[in-house]
Amino acid sequence: MKLTFIGYGKMAEAMIKGLYENYEIEVVGRNQTKLEKIKQSYGVKTAPLENFNIDGKNLILAVKPYVLAEVAGQMEGNANLILSILAGVKIDSLKLHLNSSSFIRVMPNVGASNSASMTTLTGDEKYKNEVIAICNSFGKSLWLGSENEIDIATAVAGSGPAYLAIVAEALADGAVRCGLKREDAQFITAGLFEGMNLLLNHSDPAIIKNSVMSPAGTTAEGCYALEKNGVRQAFMEAVEKAYQKALSLN
């Protein structure tokens, strides 16, 4: 399948890194210098956005949600398939601006830059398997049954790297406060996250927590401090707020 990226920003480039060796890629944008840079980096074709004809193309729409109307207004024709990574933007909203036979929403995360995105997707089932294969080129993916579910998943996996970065930073800060050197604290925290990744693939989080939290032990003290400060509620609220924001974007 040939793929045409509309946009060459952070997320587009992260996806292109995982795709360019196995897919024919074209990148479309408004800035010639940026197009030239991406062409040099990945050997992709490029084209200007103005009056770009999308007839029969498979597009990956990778611009900011608030410029959808402006960007769509510069293109003409009827695409075969549009994959939209625009956070929160519903397929019905895409249809108001762009013509295509099929639409699929794809929600990657920043892990794509290391071929480790947790991507969710939903939409026209006609291209389900092909698009899952595309998404697996830059990480792992999960097809969801509705757009509501992808908006919820966006609040966890799309925004999640920011939440976990705060956790990593706070843990390191805690260690520094107790007297550890900053670089040692960060090295230890990164190692902790690597190990957690493997543990979570095999165990329920509650089982991991219970296996570490021994009676009257050090971890029990730490967990008590987290609960006392409402950490669980704060994370649940973070997901809900991000989900509500996604719903408000249409």
What are the residues binding ligand NAP (CB under 6 A)?
A: 7-12, 29-31, 34, 49, 62-65, 67, 70-71, 85-87, 107-110, 158
Which CB atom, from 9 or from 174, has the smaller least distance to ligand NAP?
9
Question: Least distance to ligand NAP from the beta carbon of 25, Å?
Answer: 14
Nearest to 98 by CA among 63, 74, 122: 74
Question: Least distance to ligand NAP from the beta carbon of 4, Å?
Answer: 13
Which CB atom, from 34 or from 213, has the smaller least distance to ligand NAP?
34
Residue nearest to ligand NAP (CB): 9
Question: Least distance to ligand NAP from the beta carbon of 73, Å?
Answer: 10
Which CB atom, from 108 or from 123, has the smaller least distance to ligand NAP?
108
Two tokens at 90? 């519903």
Distances (CA, A) of 25 to 21, 29, 58, 138: 9, 13, 10, 14
Which CB atom, from 98 or from 185, has the smaller least distance to ligand NAP?
98
Burial of 155 (0-12, 13-18, 19+ CB in 10 A): buried
Q: How far apart are CA 73 and CA 173, in angstroms?
A: 47
Question: Least distance to ligand NAP from the beta carbon of 11, Å?
Answer: 3
Q: How far apart are CA 93 and CA 108, in angstroms?
A: 19
